Amino acid sequence: MYIKELNINQEGGYMEKVIEVKNLYKLYRVGDEVVRALDGVDFNIYKGEFCAIVGTSGSGKSTLLNMLAGLEKPTKGEVIISGEHIEKKNEEELVKFRRDNVGFIFQSFHLLGTMNAVENVALPLSFRGVPKDVRLKKADKMLDLVNLGKHKKHMPNQMSGGQQQRVGVARALVVEPKIIFADEPTGNLDSHTSEEVMELMQQVVREQKKTLVMVTHDNHLATYADRVFHIRDGKIIKIEDHRSGCEHTEDRDKAISGNMNPGDTEYLKR
């Protein structure tokens, strides 16, 4: 039986853990060298939080997002989402888990050019067997939520990049997910449009009480998040809490050396 673990926030209310990451490693073998894409990562994310994972190319941020979404298996460690061990699920179970619990926002929008905005937003519901009239009604509502009421019948090539990404946000929301994962959601947008999309994502978290985890290389955009996890060389080196103004830096020795035994590289052979 899953027992919800709660933490107390600064206002004295309770925060429910949605994501738990424990001692997470991802190792790759490149020739004779072992590359640690993730090197002993630990953190929790709570319901209704907007969290950003920030790092440069090769820092491990995309690998970490893939682990959280169940798109890759860890070499060692645990990823627990709403009490379910993601790392223990097979591919069929993971597909069902993502379908029922997760929404995705992509850098490249991934809208179907042959479908208008409403049809693109409704598409994930078709995979769930939702009747057409019901899914179009829900999609219509989501487009109103992201301020695209006048663009519902527009095709992707009739919309700006910012409008297309708003469609992407609506598509992520239409399945009523527990968690939204956003992978460089403003990577193809100009700075002004990026700010608008970030404000929209903030609004979604506040008003819809969603948990949103975003990966970005942009430190400025990360300031929109409640908490920021800075990752370098596969390790979380600093966590900033923008709500409290607090900053936590990992112990330098631990951050440099990690805590994985040499024998753990045997996981690579499995």
226-242 per-position pLDDT tens digit:
999 999 999 999 999 98
Closest CA relative to residue 260, chosen from 32, 35, 84: 35
User: Can you give the pLDDT at residue 246?
Assistant: 65
Question: What percent of the chain has a predicted confidence (pLDDT) above 70?
Answer: 85
User: Can you give the pLDDT at residue 2?
Assistant: 40
The three-state (H, E, C) secondary structure of 4-16, written as one string: CCEEECCCCCEEE
Q: In sequence order, what are the residues at sequence separation of 6 or more whose Cβ sits closer than 8 angstroms to the Cβ of residue 168?
A: 105, 106, 109, 110, 111, 185
Q: In sequence order, what are the residues at sequence separation of 6 or more whose Cβ sits closer than 8 angstroms to the Cβ of residue 17?
A: 4, 5, 6, 7, 44, 45, 46, 47
Structural domain of 20:
6-269
Q: Is residue 1 part of a domain?
A: no
The torsion region of residue 200 among left (phi > 0), alpha (psi -120 to 50) and beta comes to alpha
In this structure, what token pair is assigned to residue 127? 């995979």
252 pLDDT above the threshold of 60: no
168-192 per-position pLDDT tens digit:
999 998 988 999 999 988 888 888 8
8 pLDDT above the threshold of 90: no
Task: For residue 256, name the pLDDT band (cuts at 50, 70, 90).
Answer: very low
**Helix (H/G/I), strand (E/B), else coil: 178:** coil
Say how many CA atoms lie within 13 Å of 259 toward its Cβ. Answer: 13
We report the CATH number of the domain holding residue 249 as 3.40.50.300
138-167 per-position pLDDT tens digit:
999 999 989 898 999 999 999 999 999 999
Q: What is the mean pLDDT of the chain?
A: 85
User: Can you give the pLDDT at residue 245?
Assistant: 62
d(CA 164, CA 54): 24
Task: For residue 249, name the pLDDT band (cuts at 50, 70, 90).
Answer: low
d(CA 73, CA 62): 13
For residues 178 and 18, is the Cβ–Cβ distance under 8 A? yes
Q: Is residue 208 part of a domain?
A: yes
The more confident residue out of 14 and 46 is 46
The model's pTM: 0.81
Q: Is residue 213 part of a domain?
A: yes
Taking CA 65 as the corner, what is the angle to CA 43 and CA 82, rounded to the nearest 5 degrees? 55
* Domain count across the chain: 1
For residues 203 and 29, is the Cβ–Cβ distance under 8 A? no
- With residue 99 as reference, give the H or E element that holds it: helix 91-101
Q: Is residue 125 part of a domain?
A: yes
The more confident residue out of 56 and 107 is 56
